[in-house]
Every structure is written in C-alpha cells, then in structure tokens.
Structure 1
Amino acid sequence: WKKMVWLNKFKVEFEGYRRGQRVRIKLGQEFTNQNLAPTFHFGRFVVGCWAAFTYGSQTLLIHIGQHQPSERTSKRDHLGINGNQYASEINKPYLIPYLLSLNIEDFWVVQDNAGYHYSGQNRRVYPAYGVQILHHPTSSPNLNPIENVWGIMKAQLRQQFSIPENQPDNKNELWAAMEAE
C-alpha cells in the first residue's frame, strides 16, 4: 500500500438552511391571508475540488473551477470537468509535481475511469513520467479510500452548517470552510 497514490475529485453542494418553523393551521384555513407568507428560495452553489494522498503524504485541497456556458466544447458538454481542464488545472500544476516529489519507485496511481482522466493529453503524460495507472470503475467508493475522506469532510461541513450563523453565503465562503476542514 505504500506504493499507491489515491486521487479523486468531489463536489460539495450547498442549498441553504432548510429547517422550517412548524406551524399548526386549522383544517380548511390553509390559504387564508393570515396563514400565507412570501417564500424565499435558498441559493444553491457548488464547489468542486481534487486531492491525492499516499502513505505519509497528501496534496493540498485543489479548487476546480466550473465551466461557463460560453466554454461549452460540445452539445453533450454538461459544463463539468473535461480532459483539457484536468490536464491544465490538475495534472500539470499539481499531480505530476506531487508524484515526482514522492521519490517512490514503481508506484501506482489509483483513479476511476472518468473520461477526463483518459483524454488524449492525460493518457500521454502518464507514461512520460513513469506513472502506472490502476484502473477501477467510475463512482466506486468502496475501492478508493479517498472517498472515505470526502465522506468525513462532508459530514463535518454538515455539522458546521447546521447552525444558521455558520452557513456560507457564497462559493468563496464555502471554499474557505472546506479548506479549514
């Protein structure tokens, strides 16, 4: 296990405080003016990130930016991470330098079969640096221990955000809370 490097991305979605006040209304009076109030729809925002770890070492939590509609590469592009973004925002600046800093011979990188891992430029860069890839199915949390890290982090964020005053108002505040965890 000391020669395995586990990596993955994940996202945190925040939809605001949902616990409402309970009100008892007499049957048949649900729609009287005194029982109606304007509604407020909570803002929803998503923050994506990436990290890797191995025995005794881990990367920082890396923020993954979300594409804008103007950056759509095809009709099927759902504005998630793509191969070019993974290469330029993860592989080149973070993953490859991290792997080279480990000074481990014959290590294996464990990543899922997400399409962006195997786009042309990502598929070519791994052999150039002697990276061996251990493939496993997409979205298989029981095979990659980093999924457990994400679960712990999300549980801690849920606990922190259960207090309305601690809830983030935007993506930057959510990212700051994620980095603190």
Structure 2
Amino acid sequence: MTSAGAGPLCFIKSRVNAAVYQEILEHFMLPSTDELYGDADFIVQQDLAPAHTAQSTKTWFNDHEVIVLDWPANSPDLNPLENLWGIAKRKMRDMRQNNAMELKAAIEAFWSSITPHQCHRLIASMPCHIEAVINAKGAQTKY
C-alpha cells in the first residue's frame, strides 16, 4: 500500500523469514513501486518484525537503494497499512467465510476495491495520528 494506491496482494503459505521477505520485496514491492512511482524516490515503512530487521534485509535495501523509515517499536497507530486492514476487518465482519478459499476471495475482493484516494487519505492522516500519540504520551489512541 502506498500513497499512490495499493500494489498487488501477496498470500504467503510459509513462515516469513528474512529470505522469504526479501523475495516478496523483489517480486512484489519493487515492480509495484516501479509502476506507481517510476523513477521517483519512495520510503518504505515496515514494523520491527525479525524478517524486516535482519541484517540481510538491511543489506537488501541498501543494495537496491531503497530508503527505510526508522520505526519505533509497538506503534501500530502510526502504520497506515494497519488502518487499512482495520477497514478490511470492519467491512468483512458480517461476512461468513466457510473455508480458507472463501476468506482469500473476500480479502482479494476488498483489496481490489481500494482506491488510490483511500490510500492517499490514510497516508495524509498520519500527522493527526502522530499528534494523538504524542498527546497520549505513547499510550493507545483512538486510531
């Protein structure tokens, strides 16, 4: 998900270690950012999952000249993707999927309905989220 719109959705069947994460970056993120941003610079925001903070992942980002935003621990209020997944959960709350295939189809349908405007709004809302976290002294916020 970017301020320019949502890239392709990637379902992973295995645990995500650094090697798997780097494959996702290579085969999904890079083509998506090329399509959405062309040669323009962009900054990647990720949480502090072990696959994200592994030395080999840091090397991958350096090798591909991708800038990664420094990220505070335990800060889902400041992650627009978490907010997007919250919207997805609310939209799918009353749907009853009977199996994994139906759940996957519901997620794919939601993901394909995301507009660039929605993504941009979520990114643009981050200053308000940051202010709320500061005012709450790092405690949980309404976001």
1:109 shift after superposition: 1.1
Matched, 1:94 2:94: no
Does the alignment pair 1:156 with 2:91? yes
Q: 2:141 corresponds to which residue?
A: none
Task: Identify the structure with the greater strand proportion.
Answer: 1
Identify the structure with bigger relative contact order (alpha carbons < 8 Å, sequence gap 6+).
2
Specify the SS of the correspondent of 1:155: helix
Deviation of 1:111 (Å): 1.1
Give the TM-score normalised by the residue count of structure 2: 0.67
**How has the CA–CA distance of structure 1 residues 136 and 142 changed in structure 2, closer, same or farther, with 3 Å as cutoff?**
same
Structure number, greater radius of gyration = 1
TM-score by length of 1: 0.54
Counterpart for residue 126 of structure 1: 61
SS at match of 1:87: helix
The 5 A counterparts of 1:101-120 are 101=35, 102-103=37-38, 105-120=40-55
* CA–CA distance in structure 2, aligned partners of residues 138 and 176 of structure 1: 32
Q: Give the counterpart of 2:81 among 131, 146, 158.
A: 146
1-structure distance, mates of 2:81, 2:25? 18
Query: 3-state DSSP class of the match of 1:62?
Result: coil
Q: Distance in 1 between matches of 2:91 and 2:9?
A: 16
Q: Matches of 1:111 and 1:180 in 2, distance apart?
A: 24
166, 174, 181: which one pairs with 2:103? 174
Q: Which runs of 5+ in 2 are unaligned?
A: 111-143
Following superposition of structure 1 onto structure 2, how do residues 21-60 of structure 1 map, counting pairs within 5 Å?
52-54=1-3, 56-60=4-8
**Does the Cα contact within 8 Å between 1:113 and 1:135 map onto a contact in 2?**
no
Checking the alignment, whether the CA contact within 8 Å between 2:46 and 2:71 is kept in structure 1 is: yes
Secondary structure, aligned partner of 2:46: strand
The SS at the match of 1:86 is helix
Deviation at 1:116, TM superposition (A): 0.5
Partners of 2:56 and 2:85 in 1: CA distance: 27
Task: Calculate percent identity across the aligned residue pairs.
Answer: 32
Unaligned runs of 5+ in 1: 1-51, 68-79, 161-166
What's the offset of the Cα at 1:138?
Answer: 4.3
Instruction: Note if contact 2:8-2:32 (Cα within 8 Å) is conserved in structure 1.
Output: no
SS of equivalent to 1:64: coil
Letter in 1 for 2:106: A
Q: What number of residue pairs does the alignment pair up? A: 109
